[in-house]
Amino acid sequence: MTTEAFIYEAIRTPRGRGKKTGSLHSVKPISLVTGLIDELRARFPDLDEDRISDLILGVVTPVGDQGMDIARVAVNDAGLPDTVGGVQLNRFCASGLEAVNTAAQKVRSGWDELVIAGGVESMSRVPMGSDGGPWALDPATNYDNYFVPQGVGADLIATIEGFSREDVDAYAVRSQDLAAKAWTGGYFAKSVVPVKDINGLTVLDQDEHMRPGTTLENLAGLNPSFAGVGEMGGFDAVSLQKYHWVEKINHVHHGGNSSGIVDGA
């Protein structure tokens, strides 16, 4: 008989801008994780921590401050029992979701009873792509697999699916509008946990990468971010070798309609 898996609590840190001037740049990734574990303790004071089997964290760039199985180190740093395991996994942008899926699978199979799962990424401290890898850095591998940067790939998908610049800009404006309404409406009041320093002072208590008031007119003035690397860098040509029925890639993405570069857990 299949066991059901339930999510008892869902919390996160605010998202800081993923640059050196961002509010969370001075906060270590492991501190973002342990801060959330401490919050779980505060919310569930009667929890028997010996029942926790594992901590599963999705990490896209598991090197530097985020390397050496940060999940297992976070278990120690947070003072969880020695019997609690810790594993980090990487499925690129779906890493945190995959961590939750894996936790659910372990519970449903009867392998584990209680698991903490999530993700952490400090893009200001550990930049995207800093872990290298053969897909991007080995000429033979990237040639055989038609490697292109993520942004060019997004433009290719938009071209194939027929999404225009106006379509993606309108989607971005609506997303910004909904995010602003969610914050002002208190929708994140319970789930977002402020990040504090060692003195208990608040470092960040609200997502700082949002752009309230974004308009179609604002976005229309931005140049496509990946046209240069696609056209002059040769990655458009690489894409069209594989997707030979596409005549030309329409570069529609820019900083105003792309996913944020952020720090958080």
Biggest CA-to-CA distance, the chain:
62
Positive/negative CA dihedral, 41, 108, 7, 210: positive
Phi and psi at residue 241, to the nearest 5° = -65, -40
pLDDT at 1 over 60: no
- Which residues on adjacent β-strands are paired with residue 202? 196
Residues 118 and 148 in one domain: no
- Mean pLDDT calculated for residue range 201-226: 97
- Confidence at residue 254, expressed as pLDDT on a 0 to 100 scale: 98
pLDDT at 55 over 60: yes
Tens-place pLDDT, residues 76-127: 999 999 999 999 999 999 999 999 999 999 999 999 999 999 999 999 999 9
Residues 90 and 46 in one domain: yes
Residues 225 and 156 in one domain: yes
- Confidence at residue 41, expressed as pLDDT on a 0 to 100 scale: 98
Beta strands 195-196 and 202-204 are antiparallel
Task: Classify residue 39: in a domain, yes or no.
Answer: yes
Residues 144 and 116 in one domain: no
Task: Classify residue 1: in a domain, yes or no.
Answer: no
User: Residue 116 belongs to a domain with what CATH number?
Assistant: 3.40.47.10
Task: Classify residue 191: in a domain, yes or no.
Answer: yes
Task: Classify residue 2: in a domain, yes or no.
Answer: no
- Confidence at residue 224, expressed as pLDDT on a 0 to 100 scale: 98
Residues 37 and 118 in one domain: yes
Residues 111 and 172 in one domain: no
Residues 139 and 188 in one domain: yes
Task: Classify residue 146: in a domain, yes or no.
Answer: yes
User: Residue for token digits 């038609």?
Assistant: 146
pLDDT at 259 over 60: yes
Residues 24 and 45 in one domain: yes
* Structural domains of the chain, count: 2
Residues 108 and 169 in one domain: no
Task: Classify residue 4: in a domain, yes or no.
Answer: no
Tens-place pLDDT, residues 228-245: 999 999 999 999 999 999
Contact at 8 Å (CB) between 156 and 250? no
Residues 30 and 100 in one domain: yes
- Confidence at residue 2, expressed as pLDDT on a 0 to 100 scale: 62
- Confidence at residue 198, expressed as pLDDT on a 0 to 100 scale: 92
Average pLDDT value over all residues in the chain: 97
Tens-place pLDDT, residues 56-76: 999 999 999 999 999 999 999
Residues 146 and 90 in one domain: no
Last residue of a domain, one of 98, 122, 146: 122
Task: Classify residue 3: in a domain, yes or no.
Answer: no
Percent with pLDDT over 70 in the chain: 99
Q: Which residues contact 224 (CB under 8 A, 6 or more apart)?
A: 155, 165, 251, 252, 253, 254
What is the C-alpha to C-alpha distance for residues 58 and 60, in angstroms, rounded to an integer?
7
Task: Classify residue 38: in a domain, yes or no.
Answer: yes
Last residue of a domain, one of 94, 122, 150: 122
- Mean pLDDT calculated for residue range 12-19: 98
Residues 172 and 244 in one domain: yes
Last residue of a domain, one of 66, 94, 122: 122
Range of the domain at 167: 134-198+211-254
Q: What is the pTM of this model?
A: 0.94
Contact at 8 Å (CB) between 32 and 74? no
Predicted confidence band of residue 143 (pLDDT cuts 50, 70, 90): confident
- Confidence at residue 215, expressed as pLDDT on a 0 to 100 scale: 98
